[in-house]
C-alpha cells in the first residue's frame, strides 16, 4: 500500500503549571542509572467508531500539558556536564508531533504492512528522538488516518521510566482527556532516588544508541501465542519435585524462546552448545519488606536485572526439554525474589541490584565466547485501558530496539495470549520461524485477530 506521512505540526508541550522550585532537580536512583540509555518505543492504535472519532487535537494537547505537571521530570533535561546523575526539571517540554497519514484505513494499513517489515512502518509512526544532552526525554506523535483512525506513538528515555511508570502516565493522560479531570494521587518521583541513590559504576553500560551498523542484517518479527497454545505448552512441563505447580504464561513463553535460540546456536556450531544466558528484570514493587513508605505504586525505574545461565555441552543433548529452561528461569526468579524478601535494609537491595548488574555486564563482555539474550515482559500492565475518547485501543505494541537477541512480551487484548516481538540476525530468524515448537505454538501476527 503506497502512502505517505505528512507532518502537520511539531512543537514542545510544556507542563500547564510551572514545576515548584523544590522539585526542579531530580536525582537519579540506582535503578534509573542501571537502565539502558535508549528510548523505549510503543504504539497505541485506535479504530474509528460510530460514536466518536479523532476531532480534538487541542483537547489532547491540553490534557497532555496538564498530565505533565504530575510527571514533570519527563519535560526536563539531563544536566550533562553539571551532574550526570540528575535531571533538571526545567519544564522545557516534550516533543509533540501531529501527522496526517495518507491511508484510508488504519487496520488495512497495518495488515498490508504485516507482509513486509512491520517495524519500518511502525517506526514512521513514532517521534524521532536523538540521545543528546539537550534532547527531550519524552516524545509523542499523534498520527491521524483518513478515516479517523489514530495511532499514538510514544518514545521515552528508559532512564526516567519503566513499563509500570509509562503505562501509568498514558492512562492518566487518557483519563484526563476523556473526563477533563486528573486523578488525585501524586506519583512521587523522589522516593526511589532518596532510598537508592545513584553511584559511580566501575564499568561502562552497553550503548544501545550506537549508530554503527552491524556487519549482518537484523530482522524483527512478531509471533502470537494464544491461550490454547500456552496451555498446551504448560501441559508439556513434566511434574517433578522442583516444580509443584505449573509455571506462569510468561515463564513458559520466555523459556521456549530461549530454548529455540540455544538450539539454533548449537546447530551453527556443529552440534556443540555454547554457554548461554538470558537476562530479564524483576519488579521490586510489592516485594520489599525493608522500606517505608511502601513502594508498591512508586514511579521511576523500580526493577533489577536477573540472569539465568545455562552451561554449554560438548554436544547438543537429545533430552534438552523445555523443562530444563523453565527450571533455570523459575529458579532465577525464585532466588532473586527470596533475596529481595530477605533484605534487611535498602543497602542490601542496592548491593543485590549492583551485583546482579555486574554479572550481567560480565556476560555481555564475553559475547564472542557465549550467547547472550534479553527478554522484557510488559505482561500484566493495563495497556489496553487507555481510552482518550475513541474507545480502548484495538492493538498496542512495543517497537523493536533493532538489536539481535532482544525480545519483548506483551499481553494480547483479551489478556490470555502473549504477543512476542523478537529481533534476530536474518539467518537466525529463518531458523527460528522453521522451528517445530514455534510452528506448532504460534501464528505470525494477524492484525484482525487483535481486535
Q: What is the CATH number of the domain that holds 343?
A: 3.30.559.10
Question: Is the model more confident about 289 or about 334?
Answer: 334
Question: Is the model more confident about 173 or about 38?
Answer: 173
Q: Which of 161, 195, 229 is the last residue of a domain?
A: 195
98 and 243 both lie in a single domain: no
Q: Which of 142, 163, 195 is the last residue of a domain?
A: 195
Residue 280 has pLDDT above 50, yes or no: yes
* 122, 397 contact by CB (below 8 A): yes
Q: Strand ranges (DSSP E) for 102-149?
A: 138-145
191 and 226 both lie in a single domain: no
Residue range 253-263: average pLDDT?
96
Q: Which of 163, 195, 227 is the last residue of a domain?
A: 195
Residue range 34-49: average pLDDT?
86
Asked whether residue 213 is assigned to any structural domain, the reply reads no
170 and 265 both lie in a single domain: no
CA atoms of 417 and 441, how far apart (whole Å) = 11
Paired with 220 in beta bridges are 423
Residue range 170-177: average pLDDT?
96
Question: Is the model more confident about 297 or about 114?
Answer: 297
Question: Is the model more confident about 431 or about 105?
Answer: 431
41 and 152 both lie in a single domain: yes
What is each CA distance from 358 to 43, 351, 390, 406, 442, in whole angstroms? Answer: 32, 10, 45, 19, 35
Question: Is the model more confident about 79 or about 437?
Answer: 437
Residue 105 has pLDDT above 80, yes or no: no
Residue 314 has pLDDT above 60, yes or no: no
Q: What pLDDT score does 198 carry?
A: 87
Q: What pLDDT score does 102 carry?
A: 87
Classified as helix, coil or strand, 155 is strand
138 and 61 both lie in a single domain: yes
Residue 293 has pLDDT above 90, yes or no: no
Residue 347 has pLDDT above 50, yes or no: yes
State the residue range of the domain holding 370.
218-450
CA atoms of 174 and 315, how far apart (whole Å) = 53
164 and 262 both lie in a single domain: no
Residue 401 has pLDDT above 80, yes or no: no
420 and 303 both lie in a single domain: yes
Annotate 71-113 with DSSP letters as a single string.
SGGGG-EEETTTEEEEEE-----EEEEEEEE--S-HHHHHHHH
Q: How many domains does the chain have?
A: 2
Residue range 177-187: average pLDDT?
88
Residue 26 has pLDDT above 60, yes or no: yes
Q: What pLDDT score does 106 carry?
A: 77
Asked whether residue 435 is assigned to any structural domain, the reply reads yes
Residue 210 has pLDDT above 80, yes or no: no
101: region left, alpha or beta (phi > 0 left; psi from -120 to 50 alpha): beta
Residue range 184-203: average pLDDT?
84
- Three-class secondary structure assignment of 359-391: HHHHHHHCCCCCEEEEEEECCCCCHHHCCCCCC
| DSSP code at position 240 | B
Asked whether residue 147 is assigned to any structural domain, the reply reads yes
238 and 148 both lie in a single domain: no
Classified as helix, coil or strand, 24 is coil
Of 47-61, 62-76, 287-301, 396-410, where does mean pLDDT reach its minimum? 47-61
Asked whether residue 342 is assigned to any structural domain, the reply reads yes
User: 451 falls in which pLDDT band (50, 70, 90)?
Assistant: very low
CA atoms of 302 and 299, how far apart (whole Å) = 7
- SS3 breakdown of the chain: % helix, strand, coil, rounded to 5? 35, 25, 40
Residue range 85-104: average pLDDT?
92
CA atoms of 41 and 23, how far apart (whole Å) = 27
Asked whether residue 308 is assigned to any structural domain, the reply reads yes
Q: Which residue, chain included where needed, has cell 537519579?
A: 28
Please state, rounded to an integer, the average pLDDT across all residues of the chain. Answer: 86
186 and 238 both lie in a single domain: no
308 and 437 both lie in a single domain: yes
Asked whether residue 201 is assigned to any structural domain, the reply reads no
Asked whether residue 142 is assigned to any structural domain, the reply reads yes
Q: What pLDDT score does 270 carry?
A: 83
Counting every residue written for the chain, the total comes to 451
Q: What pLDDT score does 447 carry?
A: 47
Q: What pLDDT score does 211 carry?
A: 43
Asked whether residue 202 is assigned to any structural domain, the reply reads no
Paired with 94 in beta bridges are 13
306 and 180 both lie in a single domain: no
Residue 81 has pLDDT above 60, yes or no: yes
User: 450 falls in which pLDDT band (50, 70, 90)?
Assistant: very low
The continuous run of DSSP H or E covering 307 comes out as strand 303-310
Tell me what percent of the residues of the chain surpass a pLDDT of 90. Answer: 58
113 and 226 both lie in a single domain: no
Residue 399 has pLDDT above 90, yes or no: no
Q: What pLDDT score does 369 carry?
A: 80
Of 119-133, 299-313, 409-423, where does mean pLDDT reach its minimum? 119-133
Q: Which residue, chain included where needed, has cell 516485594?
A: 287
Residue range 282-309: average pLDDT?
87
Q: What pLDDT score does 215 carry?
A: 65
CA atoms of 25 and 269, how far apart (whole Å) = 52
Of 123-132, 207-216, 238-247, 364-373, where does mean pLDDT reach its minimum? 207-216
Amino acid at each position: 500500500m503506497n502512502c505517505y506521512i505528512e507532518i502537520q505540526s511539531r512543537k514542545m508541550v510544556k507542563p500547564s503549571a510551572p514545576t515548584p522550585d523544590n522539585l526542579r532537580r531530580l536525582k537519579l536512583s540506582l535503578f534509573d542509572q542501571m537502565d539502558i540509555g535508549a528510548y523505549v518505543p510503543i504504539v497505541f492504535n485506535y479504530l474509528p467508531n460510530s460514536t466518536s472519532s479523532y476531532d480534538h487535537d487541542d483537547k489532547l494537547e491540553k490534557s497532555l500539558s496538564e498530565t505533565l505537571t504530575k510527571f514533570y521530570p519527563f519535560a526536563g533535561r539531563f544536566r550533562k556536564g553539571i551532574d550526570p546523575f540528575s535531571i533538571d526539571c526545567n519544564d522545557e517540554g516534550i516533543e509533540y508531533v501531529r501527522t496526517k497519514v495518507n491511508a484510508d484505513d488504519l487496520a488495512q494499513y497495518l495488515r498490508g504492512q504485516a507482509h513486509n517489515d512491520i517495524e519500518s512502518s511502525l517506526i514512521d509512526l513514532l517521534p524521532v528522538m536523538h540521545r543528546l544532552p539537550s534532547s527531550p526525554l519524552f516524545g509523542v506523535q499523534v498520527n491521524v488516518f483518513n478515516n479517523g483512525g489514530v495511532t499514538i506513538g510514544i518514545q521515552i528515555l528508559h532512564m526516567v521510566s519503566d513499563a509500570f511508570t509509562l503505562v501509568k502516565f498514558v492512562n492518566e493522560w487518557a483519563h484526563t482527556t476523556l473526563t477533563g479531570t486528573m486523578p488525585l494521587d501524586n506519583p512521587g518521583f523522589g522516593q526511589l532516588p532518596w532510598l537508592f541513590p545513584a553511584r559511580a559504576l566501575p564499568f561502562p553500560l552497553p550503548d544501545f544508541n550506537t549508530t554503527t551498523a552491524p556487519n549482518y542484517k537484523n530482522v524483527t518479527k512478531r509471533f502470537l501465542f494464544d491461550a490454547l497454545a500456552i496451555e498446551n505448552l504448560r501441559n508439556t512441563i513434566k511434574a517433578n519435585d522442583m516444580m509443584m505447580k505449573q509455571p506462569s504464561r510468561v515463564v513458559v513463553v520466555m523459556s521456549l524462546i530461549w530454548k529455540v535460540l540455544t538450539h539454533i546456536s548449537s546447530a551453527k556450531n556443529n552440534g556443540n552448545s555454547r554457554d548461554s544466558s538470558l537476562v530479564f528484570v524483576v519488579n521490586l514493587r510489592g516485594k520489599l519488606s525493608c522500606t517505608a513508605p511502601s513502594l508498591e505504586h512508586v514511579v521511576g525505574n523500580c526493577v533489577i536485572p536477573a540472569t539465568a545461565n545455562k552451561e554449554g555441552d560438548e554436544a547438543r543433548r537429545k533430552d534438552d526439554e523445555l523443562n530444563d529452561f523453565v527450571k533455570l528461569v523459575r529458579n532465577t526468579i525464585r532466588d532473586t525474589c527470596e533475596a529481595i524478601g530477605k533484605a534487611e535494609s535498602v543497602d542490601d537491595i542496592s548491593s543485590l541490584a549492583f551485583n546482579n548488574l555486574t554479572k550481567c555486564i560480565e556476560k555481555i563482555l564475553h559475547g564472542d565466547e557465549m550467547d547472550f539474550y534479553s527478554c522484557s515482559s510488559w505482561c500484566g500492565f493495563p495497556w489496553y485501558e487507555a481510552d482518550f475518547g475513541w474507545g480502548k485501543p484495538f492493538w498496542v505494541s512495543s517497537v523493536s530496539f533493532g538489536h539481535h537477541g532482544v525480545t519483548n512480551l506483551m499481553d494480547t487484548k483479551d489478556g490470555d495470549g502473549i504477543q512476542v516481538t523478537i529481533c534476530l540476525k536474518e539467518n537466525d530468524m529463518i531458523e527460528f520461524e522453521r522451528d517445530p515448537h514455534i510452528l506448532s505454538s504460534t501464528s505470525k501476527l494477524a492484525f484482525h485477530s487483535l481486535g
